[in-house]
A = this chain, B = another copy of it.
Amino acid sequence: MISMQKVSKVYPNGVVAMDDLDLEIRDGEFLYVVGPSGAGKSTFMKMIYREEKPTGGQLLIDGLDVGKIKDRHVPKLRRQLGVIFQDFKLLPSLTVYENVAFALEVVGADTSSIRKQVMDVLNLVGLKNKARNYPDELSGGEQQRVSIARAIVNKPKLIIADEPTGNLDPETAWGIMEVFEEIHRRGATIVMATHNRDIVDKIRHRVIAIENGKVVRDEEKGAYGYDV
């Protein structure tokens, strides 16, 4: 599904965030991306949904060279995947309901089906009673769950989750992981950057460790693997 060949990313200020990275992510895979703070995990994921363009190499999604597609084709790409942003990126002027519905509106879904799907997914992340609230009336963890809801609401084939449990207590985090597992079982590919050792160690999947923009470890059913 995703194939990276010698992908590199140098930010305008000269920081090398990705350094000739080679990687294959197969269809239906569940991939943990781990690594220290500032290693390049978010950069790695931003390139997949084309928030950042690689400055070198080739990044193919289903054969499509993401670094080279025209600007006007980017929305189509993004609508096919669900992204959970590290900083949530909720629209402050929309309610929780509207924020989640937005992801369906952009694909032109029916108003009636929107309603049902949004309420279902809000129920799933435990925020049914916050549907009418605005993001700044929510706790950190609640905002994170809205971001998760928005990412999964239109059942994308590929989910990019950047630190999706960073603001959640372990119990809620496990609940979210169950949702991901369920989505994964139904065939979706999941790429998840995380610092959560417990989760990586207990729910075993392929783990890649990034350090200084390079893959330093790549294990099927791996563990978090940083000892303290």
Contact B11 A168 (CB under 8 A): no
Shortest beta-carbon distance, A85 to chain B, in Å? 9
B-contact 0/1 string along A141-175, CB 8 Å cutoff: 11011000000000000000011001111111110
For A162, the chain B residues whose CB sits under 8 A away are: 140
Contact A137 B13 (CB under 8 A): yes
For A190, the chain B residues whose CB sits under 8 A away are: none
For A186, the chain B residues whose CB sits under 8 A away are: none
Stretch at the interface among A34-42, A54-62, A75-83, A103-111: A34-42
Among A13, A162, A224, chain B packs the most CB atoms within 10 A around the CB of A13
Partner of A166 from B166, B170, B172, B226 at Cβ < 8 Å: B166
Contact B169 A163 (CB under 8 A): no
Please judge, given known A-B contacts A37-B141, A37-B145, A142-B38, whether A169 and B13 are in contact too, CB under 8 Å: no
Contact A36 B171 (CB under 8 A): yes
For A37, the chain B residues whose CB sits under 8 A away are: 139-142, 144-145, 167-169, 172
Q: Is A133 part of the binding interface, using a Cβ–Cβ cutoff of 8 Å?
A: yes
For A168, the chain B residues whose CB sits under 8 A away are: 37, 195
Partner of A169 from B11, B35, B198 at Cβ < 8 Å: B35
Given contacts A140-B163, A169-B226, 15 further A-B contacts (CB under 8 A): A11-B137, A35-B169, A36-B171, A37-B142, A37-B145, A37-B168, A37-B169, A38-B142, A42-B140, A163-B167, A166-B167, A168-B195, A170-B224, A170-B228, A171-B226
Give the residues from 197 to 216 in chain A that come closer than 8 angstroms, CB to CB, to chain B: 197-198
For A42, the chain B residues whose CB sits under 8 A away are: 139-140
A35 vs B35: C-alpha distance when bound (angstroms): 27
A170 vs B172: C-alpha distance when bound (angstroms): 19
Q: Is A86 part of the binding interface, using a Cβ–Cβ cutoff of 8 Å?
A: yes
Q: Is A24 part of the binding interface, using a Cβ–Cβ cutoff of 8 Å?
A: no
Give the residues from 79 to 135 in chain A that come closer than 8 angstroms, CB to CB, to chain B: 86-87, 133
A34 vs B168: C-alpha distance when bound (angstroms): 11
Residue of B nearest to A36 (CB): B169
